[in-house]
């Protein structure tokens, strides 16, 4: 049975999951408003859309005015909103002692506070349409690793907030889901990869672990997943009548969650310590 066309707002559409999800949803016949922090960066999105119904909209998710205007524009032009995909997010590498307060606040503002704020604005309209909220989390929202504590904290917070939201909106028929990707070939892992300002201080006691982390990251980059897989799942969840809450994606995410489920924390802790130990063997190359 064909799925009715829906009006969908997707955040963080300059590249990666957001761009691909916006195009995939439009390809399926939905009307998509694609949030961009800077409309001057809309070129790749429009090129990928190739005339499909994708409408770039000014949306810095941390701006109250942008959030309000984006919702108002959609309602003025379409009369309704059927789904919200909270994809915009940032990552920041760094051991927690190295982080500075403004860095912590920035990550939490983008990954947690802005998601709450935009979703809150959208909820009256999603209740009216019995719509959907899809929040893009990460396997880091279930498993925290050294050097990524702040990112993991933001995604753990997003997971808890989303789980509660699912209970809160169930009586109104609004479907709430989480996508939990492992490492994929997106800007958050490549061009937009960021580390804290103090990450490479030469006198830091964490420097041996920083170097080991960079070795491991280089190996991860050799086998990043195809982000189109995540975009397809997001589109499926927007359309699904009764989806489950959590959707881990990628071999790495599935494997880590399986190990974490099977092993007591003490055993998992030992595995992490061994893998991240400075001077640990790199192991055989795999693709």
Q: Which residues pair with 50 in a beta bridge?
A: none
Asked about 151 being catalytic, the answer comes back as yes
Could you give the count of Cα atoms lying within 13 Å of 250 in the half-sphere of its Cβ? 22
The first and second tokens of residue 151, run together, are 């990112």
Q: Which residues pair with 56 in a beta bridge?
A: 34
The first and second tokens of residue 185, run together, are 């070939």
Question: Residue 82 is inside which H or E element, if any?
Answer: none
Angle at 155 between CA 131 and CA 106, to 5 degrees: 105
CA–CA distances in Å: residue 267 to residues 39, 141, 145, 194, 274: 48, 20, 14, 30, 11
Q: Is 34 helix (H, G, I), strand (E, B) or coil?
A: strand
Catalytic residue (one of 33, 151, 184, 206): 151
Point out the residues that are catalytic. Answer: 151
């Amino acid at each position: 049975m064909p799925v009715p066309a829906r009006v969908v707002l997707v955040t963080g559409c300059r590249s990666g999951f957001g761009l691909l999800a916006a195009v995939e949803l439009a390809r399926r016949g939905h009307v998509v408003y694609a949030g961009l922090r800077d409309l001057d960066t809309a070129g790749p999105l429009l090129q990928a859309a190739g005339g499909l119904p994708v409408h770039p909209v000014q949306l810095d998710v941390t701006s109250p005015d942008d959030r309000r205007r984006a919702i108002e524009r959609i309602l003025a032009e379409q009369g309704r909103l059927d789904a919200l995909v909270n994809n915009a997010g940032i990552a920041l590498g760094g051991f927690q002692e190295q982080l500075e307060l403004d860095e912590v606040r920035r990550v939490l503002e983008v990954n947690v506070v802005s998601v709450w704020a935009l979703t809150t604005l959208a909820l009256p309209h999603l209740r009216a349409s019995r719509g959907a909220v899809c929040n893009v989390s990460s396997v880091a929202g279930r498993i925290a690793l050294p050097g990524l504590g702040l990112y993991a904290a933001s995604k753990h917070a997003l997971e808890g907030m989303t789980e509660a939201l699912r209970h809160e909106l169930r009586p109104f028929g609004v479907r709430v889901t989480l996508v939990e990707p492992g490492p994929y070939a997106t800007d958050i892992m490549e061009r937009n990869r960021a580390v804290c300002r103090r990450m490479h201080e030469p006198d830091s006691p964490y420097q041996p672990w920083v170097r080991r982390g960079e070795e491991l990251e280089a190996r991860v980059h050799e086998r990043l997943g195809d982000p189109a897989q995540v975009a397809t799942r997001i589109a499926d969840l927007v359309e699904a009548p009764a989806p489950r809450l959590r959707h881990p994606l990628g071999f790495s995410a599935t494997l880590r969650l399986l190990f974490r489920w099977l092993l007591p924390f003490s055993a998992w802790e030992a595995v992490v310590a061994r893998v991240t130990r400075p001077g640990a063997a790199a192991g055989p190359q795999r693709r």
